[in-house]
Amino acid sequence: MWRRDRSADGAVATKAGGSVPAAPAPPPEPPREAPRTVPREAGAEERRGPGRAVRALVALVALVGMVAFAIVLAKLTLNASPASVPLTHSNLTPGSSIRAYLEQPAFLETVKQLGGNVLLGVPFGVLLPLFSRKTRGLVRVALLTIVTMLLVELVQGALITGRAFDIDDVLLNTTGALLGYLLVGRRLGRAVHPRVRRRWWQRRPARQKGSEQVLATDR
């Protein structure tokens, strides 16, 4: 019978003196690549705004501006006018005073009354988004303006001679605040107080897409 002897180098020696080379060892497995990180969608990354010192300075400037605006607002709305007592009356019907202003023949007086009330609310829409991240947003600006102007109108009607409560003034002031926010305040607020977290309806599609990309890389 033939006898096989295995040498130290792995060759198999036969009885006849010949040697048969051993089978080559299998090549080592290549190292697996680490899973790739899923890139975030464009615009989904967290934005870093200015530093705390800059935000604090802007908030201080906004606070000073709001105080100055409150003083001007008080001078314009809380001054007594005894001569206007026979002409003043409260208005609880939205649109009634606006319709009366539009129907009067004096065009300049109409522009003064309507445009002045609109401009009076513009600083709210510009300064509130700068003051804090919590005062950003269209709904928040509108609610804060409505509450403030309702208080002003109530004080006018209850305490100031020759002044009366007018719901249309509140509507016009709120319109001005929303215009100021949409035109200027929203951009300034985003620059000073950027959004840190995405909204809930923006998170779910991004997670699903990210998991699909991870599965695709594993395959």
Could you read off the pLDDT of 87-96 as tens digits, one per residue? Answer: 778 888 999 9
Predicted pLDDT of residue 181: 95
Predicted pLDDT of residue 144: 93
Predicted pLDDT of residue 25: 63
CB 193 within 8 A of CB 136: yes
| Structure tokens, 142 | 């509108």
Predicted pLDDT of residue 114: 92
Predicted pLDDT of residue 168: 94
Residue 45 has pLDDT above 50, yes or no: no
Q: Token match 């016009």: residue? A: 172
What does the alpha-carbon distance between residue 20 and residue 4 come to, in Å, rounded to a whole number? 10
Predicted pLDDT of residue 47: 54
Predicted pLDDT of residue 21: 54
Predicted pLDDT of residue 88: 77
For 115-130, write each residue's pLDDT tens digit.
989 999 999 999 989 8
Question: pLDDT band for position 173 (50/70/90)?
Answer: very high
Chain centroid, CA 63 distance in Å? 20
Residue 42 has pLDDT above 50, yes or no: no
Q: Rounded mean pLDDT of the chain?
A: 76
**140 against 19, higher pLDDT:** 140
| Structure tokens, 139 | 């709904």
End-to-end CA distance of the chain, in Å?
Answer: 52
Question: pLDDT band for position 41 (50/70/90)?
Answer: very low
41: left (phi over 0), alpha (psi -120 to 50) or beta: beta
Residue 2 has pLDDT above 50, yes or no: no
Question: pLDDT band for position 53 (50/70/90)?
Answer: confident
Return the DSSP state at 195: -
The winner for highest mean pLDDT among 10-19, 58-67, 153-162, 180-189 is: 180-189
CA neighbor of 139 nearest in space, from 128, 150, 131, 130? 128
